[in-house]
Amino acid sequence: MSYVIAIDEGTTSTRAVLYDLKKNKIVAQKASQIKQIYPCHGYVEENAAEIYAETLASLVEILEQCDDIAEVKGIGITNQRETVIAWDKKTGKPLYNAIIWQCRRTSDFMSELSKTHGELIHEKTGLVCDAYFSASKMKWLLDNVPEVKAKSEKGELCLGTVDSFLAYKLTGGKTFVTDVTNASRTMLFNLETCSWDDELIELFGVDKRSLPKVVSSDALVGEFEYDGVKIPICGMAGDQQAALLGQGCLNVGDSKITYGTGLFMLYNTGYKSIISQKGLITTVGYGIGGKVVYAFEGSVFNAGSAIQWLRDNLGFFGKSSDSEKLACEVSSSGGVYVVPAFTGLGAPYWSPEARGIITGLSRSTTKSHVTRATLEAMAYSAKDLVEVMESESGSKLSELKCDGGASANDFLMKFQANVVGVNVNRPKEKESTALGAAFLCALGLGLIAENDILKLRECEKLFTPENDRKKYDELYDGWKKAVGRCLYD
């Protein structure tokens, strides 16, 4: 038997997952919660020491469950992206709380900056000029925490994302690295040269000595010592990118969608980074064996949350999964469209002011129609992203790999296949993110080859489209009209 462990450090919990290479499945996992701290309106922090302590506790608990620790061949890491931690290069002590990706403390600064540097930043990094990414959080730490500034001036500061912090801590301070996917979310990383960008580093007032060395996602980064055994730490990637790999999206046009609270899509565009003119983010998909593959990323803020809204605010059903039965009681939405823009519309519309609407109500509309229309809205939102991704990449979507809570809904998956006109492929192993980190680890250690990923990722159910393009194109036209009303009302 041999195993690899994936550390899946998420926004509100951190987990250690034991993956059995021979059985090709996850055999054990241990999760711990991480508390979020809200010091004032719009600020989101976490205790960096707690992030490490909880991660370590989960890791140790999983190791303790192994009969023979020597069978654990390596540890891979996947993590919440963009979150920034500042720590002392010598002691490893965090100098401030982790500033979480959701934190809006630098949003005024970023909206001013976008007027003068928005285009430059977009061209170089593929990102939109927003407080979401790491750079302005790093600047805030340097400007507002005297110890961070002082350590920076002496060359004794580490400024990194969570992958970097965990790798540093787990190797006892021997390694200060980040992987290309995490680097590509900082806003300091040049997609073309695949390295830190001096101009951007200066713009955000960061000292290059404070930044980690950028390595491949499958790189061997160091060793974790436990009970006298040295276990290689190998493979790191941001959570969405790890899911892309876990889903086996290795070729141009391969794409995964996570149907959770929101909807997150990544689309493999191959070796060339393409800067979007239509509201998509360009990001590093993964770096394997020194080669870098790029991806488009699109997010829809409200997807499963709309089902929660029907459940909790309108009392339509007791469990989210009940939405499927209700939707299937009718053969169509009866002309009803729900645009769940509760918090504005994300890609490709980018309208923060938009608010949700329901159109096409008639005297015969029932709960079933509205529920069906809400599920259909998820599929239409995905189609919006697919259209832009295909047109900007010049490639065709091959198949959609799905995961996330709402991907359990067969009606939604079938409707998705019909609306986009490609197969929707649901995997046996639903933990794509952890699986991606496990694959990266195994790849880096030479336990598997890149092509093996395609064999290891097994399909649980394939949803194939009906041969009725006209019908689904007409339905989609109706969605576009509804979105138009929501945007311009």
Please report whether residue 299 would count as binding ligand ADP according to CB under 6 A: no
Torsion of the alpha carbons at 349, 351, 354 and 360, rounded to the nearest 10: -10
Contact between 27 and ligand ADP by CB under 6 A: the answer reads no
Q: How far is CA 325 from CA 318, 329, 364, in A?
A: 12, 7, 19
What backbone torsions phi and psi does residue 263 show, to the nearest 5 degrees?
-120, 130
Instruction: Provide DSSP, 369-403.
Output: HHHHHHHHHHHHHHHHHHHHHHHHHT----EEEEE
398 makes contact with ligand ADP (CB under 6 A):
no
What is the identity of the amino acid at 35? K
Q: Which residues 6+ apart lie within 8 Å of 184 measured at CB? A: 125, 126, 191, 283, 284
For ligand ADP, the closer CB: 95 or 307: 307
Residues 244-263 that bind ligand ADP (CB under 6 A): 260-261
> In this complex, which beta carbon is closest to ligand ADP, that of residue 29 or of residue 409?
409
When binding is defined by CB under 6 A, the residue of 181, 216, 240, 323 that contacts ligand ADP is 323
> Which residue lies nearer to ligand ADP by CB, 274 or 402?
402
3-state secondary structure of 74: strand
Identity of the residue, 176 or 380, whose beta carbon is nearer to ligand ADP in the bound complex? 380
Stretch that binds ligand ADP, among 189-197, 288-296, 344-352, 403-411 (CB under 6 A): 403-411
Cβ–Cβ under 8 Å, residues 424 and 458: no
Residue 324 CB, nearest approach to ligand ADP (Å) = 6
Does position 33 interact with ligand ADP (CB under 6 A)? The reply is no
Contact present, 137 and 99 (Cβ < 8 Å): yes
Of 100-108, 184-192, 303-311, 449-457, the segment contacting ligand ADP by CB under 6 A is 303-311
Q: Is 97 in the site for ligand ADP (CB under 6 A)?
A: no
What ranges make up the beta strands (E) of 135-219?
157-160, 177-179, 189-190, 195-196, 213-215
Q: Decide: is 305 part of the binding site for ligand ADP (CB under 6 A).
A: yes
Size of the site for ligand ADP (CB under 6 A): 15
- Which 106-145 positions form the footprint of ligand ADP (CB under 6 A)? none
Residue 86 neighbours by CB under 8 Å, 6+ apart: 94, 95, 96, 138, 141, 145, 148, 151, 157, 158, 159
Residue selected from 13, 195, 251, 321 as contacting ligand ADP according to rule CB under 6 A = 321
- Interface residues toward ligand ADP, by CB under 6 A: 260-261, 304-305, 307-308, 320-321, 323-324, 404-406, 408-409
